[in-house]
Amino acid sequence: MGYRYLEHTADIMFEAWGKTKEELFEESAKALFDIMVELKSVKEKEKREMSIEEEFIEDLLYSWLNGLLFYVDAESLMFSRFKVKIKDNILRGKMYGEKICERHELKTEVKAITYHKLKVWEEKNKLFARVLVDI
């Protein structure tokens, strides 16, 4: 499990990986929030849950990540831990974090996840995702 950032001229791109779809989606969420905030500064004071159904895995990842951004915009929440279950193209996610406060080390504001260059693939018994983030 893990993620890394790739070079991009204007926005931020990352690759995430895991042995399962669940790990891949959890790591993708961490990569997204690591763009916005120092993850270790976010305490697990609040929990939110999300359920999404999409036909294709790329659409599921896109909806998951944009759904997480909704909580940043609508409730001023930052998350640092994620628990995902995926069965029959239905994602059930739990997110743990807290409201943005002066203690947080904020980094870059994220506008949206884009479909541009969004890709999910399997290689050497691991799942990978590439995501372009509009900043």
Identity of the amino acid at 71? Y
At residue 10, the pLDDT reads 77
Are residues 95 and 82 in contact, defined by beta-carbon separation less than 8 angstroms?
Answer: yes
- pTM above threshold 0.85: yes
At residue 7, the pLDDT reads 83
Which residues constitute the domain of residue 73?
2-134
Sheet strands (E) in the chain: 2-6, 12-18, 46-53, 77-87, 90-99, 112-113, 119-123, 126-134
At residue 17, the pLDDT reads 98
State the average pLDDT over residues 67-74: 97
Are residues 68 and 29 in contact, defined by beta-carbon separation less than 8 angstroms?
Answer: yes
Quick: pLDDT tens for 1-59. Answer: 899 999 877 789 999 999 999 999 999 999 999 999 999 999 999 999 999 999 999 99
CATH of the domain at 29: 3.55.10.10
Quick: pLDDT tens for 96-127. Answer: 999 999 999 899 999 999 998 899 999 999 99
At residue 9, the pLDDT reads 75
Please count the structural domains in the chain. 1
At residue 1, the pLDDT reads 84
Are residues 45 and 97 in contact, defined by beta-carbon separation less than 8 angstroms?
Answer: yes
From the list 17, 14, 22, 23, the residue with the least C-alpha distance to 121 is: 17
SS3 74: helix
State the average pLDDT over residues 76-96: 97
Looking from the CA of 4 toward its CB, the CA atoms found within 13 Å total 3
Residues 6+ apart with CB under 8 A from 101: none
Are residues 129 and 24 in contact, defined by beta-carbon separation less than 8 angstroms?
Answer: yes
At residue 117, the pLDDT reads 87
SS3 59: helix
